[in-house]
Amino acid sequence: MTHPGEQFYPEGVRWDDPIPRGTLPDLLSQAAAEYGARPALEFRDRPISYSDLEDKVEIAASAFLRAGYGKGHSVALFLGNTPDHPVNFFGALKAGARIVHLSPLDGEIALSHKLSDSGARVLVTSNLSALLPTALKFLDKGLLDRLIVCEDDNWGKVGTQQAALPDHPAIITHQQFIDGAAKPTQWPAITADDVALLQYTGGTTGLPKGAMLSHGNLTSAVSVYDVWGKPARLERNAVERVICVLPLFHIYALTVVLLSSIRRGNLISLHQRFDVDAVMRDIEVKRATAFPGVPTMWIAIAALPDLDKRDLSSLVSVGSGGAPLPVEVARILERRVGMKLKSGWGMTETCSPGTAHPKEGPDKPGSIGLMLPGIEMDVVSLEDSTKLMPVGEVGEIRIRGPNVTKGYWNRPAETADAFVGDRFLTGDIGYMDADGYFYLVDRKKDMIISGGFNVYPQMIEQAIYTHPSVQEVIVIGIPDDYRGEAAKAFIKLRDGANSFTLDELRAFLAGKLGKHELPAALDFVDELPRTPVGKLSRHELRMQQSPQQGASQKQQFATGGRS
């Protein structure tokens, strides 16, 4: 059998089922035409219908066009989970621009690079005090021509901390930006092959690089999940209430929650941040039916002291992604509330889809599941990426499909290195069993995945090197019970320099790095390991610290995934 895992697919689903593709503005327009007055979003207990959402998007799109941010332009979004995100995401896309997602969790170094590299000269942000001061720094550094500031109170006053807008000719509120914008007689022509999104990712050999995700890539990703879940949806025949606490700037939430829910006419219950009590209220009181999360969220729920008495019966679809899920957490949830929590695998470059577990099928502890319809995955030699490895043999996982990126923005050499023909080299090391189930063993790259977010050791090292006492540093990932992985810094001090505590280092790095990037552990060493040509060696340091790290990690985690 060409695709042995197909035998375990849901009834009626075939690997070669058609995977429709199109554009993201059309995806929203078709949903608005079909679902109209049905609520698309609920935020702070207030609904926004599909028709209202499309109307707000078209007004935003008209304003982007009026301001000259249409075809060929990059529009950066520096936003949290509020309706401002989908309004400006779809608005800029409808104007013909491409989106650049900036993570509010990132530090100034990474964010400045993403703005410069993408060519985005306009940034949409919020007046929240957690966002605006950083956005103003980009303006001061000359990285922006225009700063559009959404006002959080527009979605209802809840006492969020907001910052005052300085008087600056380049700063405009979102309301001022859209006031009087007239819809064009004809919207710009957009094709499925146009780049819709520059989603930044990367390894440790350089700064983050922008995966070029086309309209066709993203709509295909939604279609892949549509095909996979169609039997279950037909059986239920219901409008789902989907909890969205995953950040919309992350590919997992963008595809699995926002785009997929809009395609299907579901209600997105949007939360600005993860709060276990608010999520449980959504489940127990509002009877939410779907909750895609990351392991840290499930760990918090599994740790509830009264979990046995909580009512999670409304949930019909749960998932964990973005990072490895500890086996013990999955066991607790199954034992105490009867919930089977399995996760698949995907990455930024695949717009999320890669593998998933069928509802019915063999129990495969440690597996990341089967390759989804329309997606081909195989395993190749670590020494020769054209040589296929037999069943059960470990190598690098390759993938191809309509959802896979066309390459990296302005990085032709790195794009060429990432592909063998039309197959993308994932950098993940694993194997496939005789049933077509895939397993992860390790990662080829040095990237750390902490709480579902990509953390790049070199970015942390660059920041640590600005400390006057530091001569050399290597950062590696270490196991963390809560986040899956955390960063640990190994530092060689300058001669005569005084050591410092972990808390002092974290205080020094505050602002330079995102909170999720700050080291969780620190060791001072007399010497750091090097390669034969004298380069500092993370690989050798990992081997010195834990020769069995790869094997123990395989035992510790049930499944793995990354975005």
238-297 pLDDT, tens digit per residue, is 999 999 999 999 999 999 999 999 999 999 999 999 999 999 999 999 999 999 998 888
Is 558 among the domain residues? no
Q: Does residue 544 sit within a domain? A: no
Domain limit, last residue, from 395, 417, 443: 443
Is 196 part of any domain?
no
Q: Which structure tokens are listed for 222?
A: 């939604």
Q: Are strands 209-214 and 195-201 parallel, antiparallel or unpaired?
A: antiparallel
What pLDDT band is residue 555 in, cutting at 50, 70 and 90?
very low
Which CATH number goes with the domain that contains 45? 3.40.50.980
- What's the confidence (pLDDT) of residue 255? 97
Nearest to 181 by CA among 99, 74, 68: 68
Region 530-542: mean pLDDT is 73
Residue-level pLDDT at 365 = 77
pLDDT of residue 471: 85
pLDDT recorded at residue 25: 98
Q: What is the pLDDT of residue 447?
A: 76
**Distance, CA of 340 to CA of 317 (rounded, Å):** 10
Q: Which of 49-63, 117-131, 479-493 has the lowest mean pLDDT?
A: 479-493
Give residue 344's pLDDT.
Answer: 85
pLDDT-based confidence at 553, cuts 50/70/90? Answer: very low
Average pLDDT over residues 484-510: 93
Determine the average pLDDT of the residues in 416-435. Answer: 94
Tens of pLDDT along 443-459? 677 778 888 887 878 77
Q: pLDDT value at position 335?
A: 85
- What are 477's two structure tokens? 């990932």
Residue ending a domain, among 378, 408, 443, is 443
Query: For the residues 533-559, what does the mean pLDDT come to?
Result: 56
Shared domain for 365 and 501, answered yes or no, is no
Same domain as 475, residue 394: no
220 plus 277 within the same structural domain: yes
For 127-145, letters b (16+ CB in 10 Å) and e give bbeebbebbbebbeeebbe
Residues 293 and 179 in one domain: no
The β-bridge partners of 523 are 490
CB burial of residue 99 (10 Å; 0-12, 13-18, 19+): buried
List 124's β-bridge partners, or say none: 77, 148
Query: Is the model's pLDDT at 150 over the cut of 60?
Result: yes
177 and 227 part of one domain: no
pLDDT the model gives residue 278: 96
User: d(Cα 222, Cα 267) in Å, to the nearest integer?
Assistant: 16
Considering the domain architecture, whether residues 301 and 406 belong to the same structural domain is answered as yes
How high is the pLDDT of residue 129? Answer: 95
Instruction: Give the model's pLDDT for residue 531.
Output: 62
126: number of Cβ within 10 Å: 26
Are 147 and 224 part of one and the same domain? no
| Range with the largest mean pLDDT of 5-9, 318-322, 365-369 | 5-9
Bridge partner residues of 74 (DSSP): 98
CA distance 147 to 144: 7
Residue 252 lies in a domain: yes
pLDDT for residue 534: 58
Q: What is the pLDDT of residues 114-143, one digit of tens each?
A: 999 999 999 999 999 999 999 999 999 999
The dihedrals phi and psi of 275, each to the nearest 5 degrees, come to: -130, 115
Query: Can you read off the two tokens belonging to residue 274?
Result: 């993860």
pLDDT at 556 over 60: no
Same domain? 224 vs 252: yes
pLDDT-based confidence at 202, cuts 50/70/90? low
Q: What is the mean pLDDT of residues 532-543?
A: 74
Q: Which among 324, 344, 388 has a CA at the least distance from the CA of 224?
A: 344
Q: Are residues 364 and 338 in the same domain?
A: yes
Range of the domain at 101: 24-190
In whole angstroms, what is the distance from residue 345 CA to residue 356 CA? Answer: 7
Domain assignment present for residue 549? The answer is no
The predicted structure's pLDDT at residue 559: 32
pLDDT band at 229 (very low <50, low <70, confident <90, very high): very high
Where would I find the beta strands (DSSP E) of 79-194? 98-101, 122-126, 146-150, 171-173
pLDDT tens digit sequence for 66-80:
999 999 999 999 999
Q: Which of 190, 205, 227 corresponds to the end of one domain? A: 190
| 457 in the same domain as 437 | no
Q: With contact defined as beta carbons under 8 Å apart, do 306 and 256 qualify?
A: no
Residues 433 and 455 in one domain: no
What's 490's domain CATH number? 3.30.300.30
**Mean pLDDT of the region 399-415:** 96
| Residues 317 and 293 sit within 8 Å (Cβ to Cβ) | no
Neighbours of 425 (CB within 10 A): 17
- Give percent of the chain with pLDDT exceeding 90: 71
User: Does an H or E element contain 334, and which?
Assistant: helix 327-337
Q: By three-state DSSP, how is residue 311 classified?
A: coil
Number of domains observed in the structure of the chain? 3
CA 529 to chain centroid, in Å, comes to: 33
pLDDT given at position 422? 95
Average pLDDT over the chain, rounded to whole?
90
Residue 552 counted as domain residue? no
Residues 109, 514: Cα–Cα separation, whole Å: 9
240: CATH:
3.40.50.12780
In a domain, 265, yes or no: yes
Residue 205 lies in a domain: no
306-358 residue pLDDT tens = 998 999 999 999 988 876 666 677 778 888 888 888 778 999 999 999 999 99
Residues 96, 128: one domain?
yes
> pLDDT tier at 27 (50, 70, 90 boundaries)?
very high
Distance CA 180, CA 178 (A): 6
pLDDT for 550 equals 38
pTM of the model: 0.85
Between 397 and 332, whose confidence is greater? 397
> What is the reported pLDDT for 205?
45
Three-state SS at 119: coil
SS3 77: strand
How many CB atoms are closer than 10 A to CB 326?
22
Q: Give the separation between CA 51 and CA 9, rounded to whole angstroms.
A: 36
Listed in sequence order, the DSSP H helices in 123-214 are 132-140, 174-178
